[in-house]
Structure 1
Amino acid sequence: MSAPSGAGLRRLRDVVADDMAGADVAHDLAHLDRVAGLSARLAAREGLDGFVAAVAAYVHDHHRAAEARLGRVVAPAEVRDDARDALRRAEIDEVLWEPVLDAVEATGRYSFGAEPGAPTADRIAACLHDADMLDAMGATGIARAFAYGGAIGEPLWDPAAGVDGGGYRSGPTGSVVAHFHEKLLRLRGELRTAAGRELGERRHAALQEFLRRFREEWVEAHGDDDGAPPAA
């Protein structure tokens, strides 16, 4: 994975690499690299500071490392001090700390606005949120879903478990393909920025195409569509 541009971001990446060493495969340093790049690009499209958005991206998953240590769900607000310490160790300008941390916490609350009149932290949060969602869509999202499913021992598809019609809940699902239906296909409707929605259309189409092909190959292998996963 190539290093981010700018000395400050490179220092922050090095710091966060140690902090996130215990995080799961779906929230590793490579994920942060991708989200940082997408956040910066979305912020620039929205007339915001791409550097601030990238900084926020690199510290937005500190709660994931805490979850791995503690074995429970952790909110971003609970690890604000850990994220602030990462910014300090990376020598990020102190004037950015609170806006960055506010943006990270706003993504956890899902109650922020993307409108131009909203506070800057909320608008940065919207870009970060969209970048994070986009990384769970498209070819990258497909790869992450199966990497994580393999890590926790989920089957590709389990006809007996089917799809939870109630939608996504944190924790293991019946199968990786069920996770597509319960969460990933719903992400397009959660995107907050114009640029994010534009990218999301292509990535959503990739999810749909994959599921179409998966169902087709399931039917080919089993001879009929009994127990086949639903189409996208």
Structure 2
Amino acid sequence: MTQIAQLTDYMQKALAKDNSGHSVDHIDRVVALADKILRNEPSADPFIVHAAALLHDVYDDKLFETESEALAAKENLIRFLQSLEISQNTIDRIIEIIDNMSWSKSLEGQAKPLDINGQIVQDADRLEAVGAIAVTRAITYGAVKNRILYDPNIAPRIAKNKAQYRNDDSTTINHFYEKLLLIKDRLNTETARQIAVSRHQFMLDFLEQFKAEWDLSK
């Protein structure tokens, strides 16, 4: 079994029970998007891109009850990578991408700059938050977190740090204005920017239709 196959198996076991929109099918799409971007970025390292794309949610703290559980998951992953005899330098580069690619970390200005490998993975993950599937993922995550779907009296807020971003005092529809509609202009690669155009428009059309239907009851 190749190293990528073993990493895939590790990811599938780690995320098998996820119901928040960060499940195995999400990872599969991120990997496919990363592959598409990778074709136009010859300077990137395919192994690092694939590994980081596969593993980027394995220890995401929003999928755990406590920070200590997320930290333990990260430590377990590092030990697993070492058991595959992947060089420490490569492991460090994979972990650095995962640790610095999130939207919430970039809000605080604490994220380290990503090299082309990290930019590809970040773009692939962010494209998953733009478009038709992004709509369903936002609604799914909102339901898991018991968020209000929509309340026209609650205005969207632009979070300035991770704590504000993770606060559930907003609504699922507001999340489009607080993050999803902002993604198109914050992508790294030309390939990702091209993919985002029609997906971004789909979300705008969805929101227009949603609000038109909502207003029928008013």
> Which of the five TM-score ranges fits, normalised by the shorter chain?
0.7 to 0.9
Q: What's the offset of the Cα at 1:39?
A: 1.4
Q: Deviations over 1:158-198 (max 9, x none)?
A: 12323225577123242110111111111112101111111
Q: Could you tell me the percent identity over the aligned residues?
A: 23
The normalised TM-score by structure 2 is: 0.80
Q: What's the offset of the Cα at 1:98?
A: 2.9
Counterpart position of 2:93? 99
The answer to whether residue 150 in structure 2 is matched with residue 149 in structure 1 is no
The 1:92–1:25 alpha-carbon spacing in structure 2 relative to 1, beyond 3 Å, is farther
Asked if 1 retains the 8 angstrom alpha-carbon contact of 2:61 and 2:67, the reply is no
Asked if 2 retains the 8 angstrom alpha-carbon contact of 1:41 and 1:50, the reply is no
Cα separation, 2, equivalents of 1:57 and 1:173: 30
Asked if 1 retains the 8 angstrom alpha-carbon contact of 2:148 and 2:172, the reply is yes
Asked if 2 retains the 8 angstrom alpha-carbon contact of 1:154 and 1:176, the reply is yes
Cα separation, 1, equivalents of 2:185 and 2:68: 28
The answer to whether residue 171 in structure 2 is matched with residue 175 in structure 1 is yes
Cα separation, 1, equivalents of 2:24 and 2:149: 25
Structure 1: 5+ residue stretches without partners: 1-5, 114-121, 223-232
Matching residue within 178, 191, 196 for 2:192: 196
Q: Which amino acid aligns with 1:70?
A: T
Counterpart position of 1:135? 128
The answer to whether residue 119 in structure 2 is matched with residue 123 in structure 1 is no
Higher relative contact order (CA 8 A, sep 6+): 2
Structure 2: 5+ residue stretches without partners: 103-109
Matching residue within 154, 157, 178 for 1:164: 157
**Secondary structure in 2 aligned to 1:153?**
coil
Q: What is the Cα-based RMSD across aligned positions, in Å?
A: 2.8
Cα separation, 2, equivalents of 1:187 and 1:46: 20
**Secondary structure in 2 aligned to 1:164?**
coil
Q: Which amino acid aligns with 2:32?
A: G
Cα separation, 2, equivalents of 1:66 and 1:21: 16
Which aligned pairs between 1:204-223 and structure 2 lie closer than 5 A? 204-222=200-218
Counterpart position of 1:229? none
**Secondary structure in 2 aligned to 1:154?**
coil
The number of equivalent residue pairs is 206
The normalised TM-score by structure 1 is: 0.76
Asked if 2 retains the 8 angstrom alpha-carbon contact of 1:173 and 1:179, the reply is no
Asked if 2 retains the 8 angstrom alpha-carbon contact of 1:149 and 1:176, the reply is yes
Q: Which amino acid aligns with 1:180?
A: F
Counterpart position of 1:112? 113
Identify which range, 194-203 or 79-88, moves more after superposition: 79-88
Cα separation, 2, equivalents of 1:38 and 1:7: 21
